């Protein structure tokens, strides 16, 4: 557990240093962070356990795990949707509660190289 936390903290701090030297769009930086974290954590699991069975990705059970994960995700989405609807019915703007400022122009979400 300590090794996993150390890996994630190292990646996050490293990306902060990279972003200060090379300005990356926040969405791109977050995507790179998550990909690195996934690859390194999966590598750690494989190295320590010789398989992905410790995290439920062994071949006999992966379909069952996928189904459970999809059901859980759908249930969470349903609850979030119901909460969104209830707030909207009572004239509360749910997106205003998130507190994230979105760019005024959608083109500012992605770098220009992605838009052409």
In angstroms, rounded to a whole number, what is the distance separating the alpha carbons of residues 107 and 116?
Answer: 11
pLDDT over 80 (residue 98): no
pLDDT at 77 (0 to 100): 94
Q: Is the dihedral of CA 41, 32, 64, 61 positive or negative?
A: negative
What's the pTM value of the predicted model, to 2 decimals? 0.52
Residue 43 or 111, more confident: 43
**Of 100, 116, 104, the residue nearest 27 (C-alpha):** 100
Secondary structure (DSSP) of 18-67: HHHHS---HHHHHHHHHHHHHHHHHHHHHHHHSSSGGGT--TTTHHHHHH
pLDDT tens-place string over residues 46-62: 888 777 777 767 767 77
Query: What are the distances in angstroms from CA 49 to CA 4, 52, 55, 69, 89?
Result: 14, 7, 10, 22, 50
In the structure, what pLDDT confidence band is assigned to residue 35 with cuts at 50, 70 and 90? very high
pLDDT tens-place string over residues 54-88: 776 776 777 887 888 899 999 999 999 999 899 88
Domain assignments of the chain as residue spans, ordered by start: 1-58, 60-116
pLDDT at 64 (0 to 100): 80
């Amino acid at each position: 557990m300590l090794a996993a936390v150390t890996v994630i903290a190292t990646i996050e701090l490293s990306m902060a240093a990279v972003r200060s030297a090379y300005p990356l769009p926040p969405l791109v930086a977050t995507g790179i962070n998550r990909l690195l974290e996934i690859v390194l954590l999966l590598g750690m699991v494989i190295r320590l356990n010789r398989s992905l069975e410790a995290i439920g990705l062994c071949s006999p059970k992966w379909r069952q795990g996928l189904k459970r994960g999809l059901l859980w995700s759908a249930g969470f989405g349903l609850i979030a949707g119901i909460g969104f609807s209830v707030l909207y019915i009572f004239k509360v703007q749910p997106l205003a509660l998130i507190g994230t400022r979105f760019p005024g122009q959608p083109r500012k979400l992605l770098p220009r190289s992605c838009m052409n």
